[in-house]
Chains A and B, each alone.
Chain A
Amino acid sequence: MIANFATVLGEWRSLASGLVNTIWICALSGAASLILAVPVSLLLVTRRRALRAAARAGVDVMRAIPFLMLLFIVYYCLPALHVRLSSWTCGLTALIAYNTAYVAEILRGAWAHLPREQEEAGRAFGYAGLALYRRIILPQILIATGPVLGNQMITLVKNSAFLMVITIPDLTFMANQVQAIYFVPFETLLVAVALYWLICMAIEWAVRGMDRVAVVRGHE
């Protein structure tokens, strides 16, 4: 077994490139979906009924289907509609769209639980519309949802492993390739699991850092 681990470590370049791909795919998708989730969460509470119903339906469908299903729909169905995308574009689009629906629902839920007085105090000071949202509501939502967003980020990392199915060289794809070449499946995949664990520990560590900021700002 030690010899097998030595074989795996000899292939560290492949695993490292997979790890780097997984990290930047997740960082990019996480950031993009957090930004996109803000307008989507606003659509979920808009007074225009048709718009709200459409946003609600979209978010609910995303939250009811497996990520792999969405990935295949983007990967196989768009070319049938004469939209040709590279597997990278497909993968990132699907990952961002899927994650945006979940984050939007998290933001909407946090807003619903925010004390109304905050909003009213903001209005009393002359804030309205976008400024009210951006300066008063959004900062509080982000602080309140820190741990939940962290969990969602971990889910995103785990969903990103599905991208191997459409041949994107992420950590799982590279680990699978190394194990198939050298036939050391147990050791290779164990190393991959350890690397995923490290990524998730880093996310949890970041969330704890955010919690400290929240406490400093007077949130419990």
Chain B
Amino acid sequence: MTWSSLLADLARGALTTLTVSLSGIALGTVLGLMLALVRVGRVPVAAQAVTTWVSVIRATPMVTLVLLVFFGLPGLGIRMSPVAAAIVTILMNTSVFQAEIWRAALLDFPRGQLEAARAGGMTRAVTFRRIVFPQVWRASLPALVNEMTLVIKGSPAVAVIGVVDLTRVAVRITTVTYEPMRPFLTAAAIYVVVVMVLLRAQHATERRLVARYGTL
């Protein structure tokens, strides 16, 4: 197999890995924030349910979860394509970890500012949108990026249900060429680059935020 066709195949796999991971992460950020708000806001019953949900999903391996979503949920009448099941799995997994990150940042938020906003006549929704969120996301940024790298590293689990991600492409090439070194080491290098780029982007954003606001 020539280098160019090897790289083309791996690039397609990397694209699938990124598409699935980033969709899951983006949806998971929104869901995670909502879960955190339910817990921090002490919504009766729902807060307790979220606490249990977070505890269970946090303890579930991504492989087991993806099998449950793809093979198990059709039993409840929820049928999905492998790629959709992959995104749902990543969404379920990352949302509970992101919920914990948002929750930590929300619990850390200075009470004085909330009281000032109330004294200024802001409603809770406006306070959240104009005062809390713009500060909380900056404080959560390092932990969120760390979580993103964990998602990328957990994403090969979706290969188990037949999604042709970067890892699975490497396996496929090997089963055809009987030559494992190049595909696996190149695929590993692509993962390293993706994770490094994420971390670099985080450092750059942090520097810009610190330059603009003085702190994160």
How does the 8 Å CB contact mask read for A177-218 relative to B, with 1 for contact and 0 for none?
001000011111110111011011100000000000000000
Using known A-B contacts A65-B191, A65-B192, A76-B174, determine if residue A161 contacts B56 with beta carbons closer than 8 Å. no
Smallest distance from the beta carbon of B178 to chain A beta carbons, Å?
A: 9
Give chain B interface residues in 135-185, CB to chain A under 8 Å.
149, 152-157, 159-160, 167, 170-171, 174, 179-181, 184-185
**Which A residue's beta carbon lies closest to that of B93?**
A158
| Chain A residues touching B, majority SS | helix
Tell me if A68 is interfacial: C-beta within 8 Å of chain B.
Answer: yes
Q: Which residues of B contact A93 (CB under 8 A)?
A: none
| Chain A interface residue count, Cβ-Cβ cutoff 8 angstroms | 43
| Chain B interface residue count, Cβ-Cβ cutoff 8 angstroms | 42
Query: How many contacts between A and B, using CB within 8 angstroms?
Result: 131
Give chain A interface residues in 59-84, CB to chain B under 8 Å.
61, 64-70, 72-73, 76-77, 79-80
Which among B55, B60, B67, B170 is the interface contact of A185 at CB below 8 angstroms?
A: B67
In the complex, the answer to whether A176 meets B67 with C-beta atoms within 8 Å is yes
Q: Which residues of A contact B73 (CB under 8 A)?
A: 186
List the interface of chain B (C-beta within 8 A of A).
55-56, 58-65, 67-68, 71-76, 149, 152-157, 159-160, 167, 170-171, 174, 179-181, 184-185, 187-188, 191-192, 195-196
| Given A77-B184, A184-B75; 11 other pairs, CB 8 A cutoff | A68-B157, A69-B167, A72-B180, A76-B184, A162-B63, A187-B72, A189-B64, A192-B64, A193-B60, A193-B65, A196-B60
List the interface of chain A (C-beta within 8 A of B).
61, 64-70, 72-73, 76-77, 79-80, 154, 157-162, 164-165, 171-172, 175-176, 179, 184-190, 192-194, 196-197, 199-201
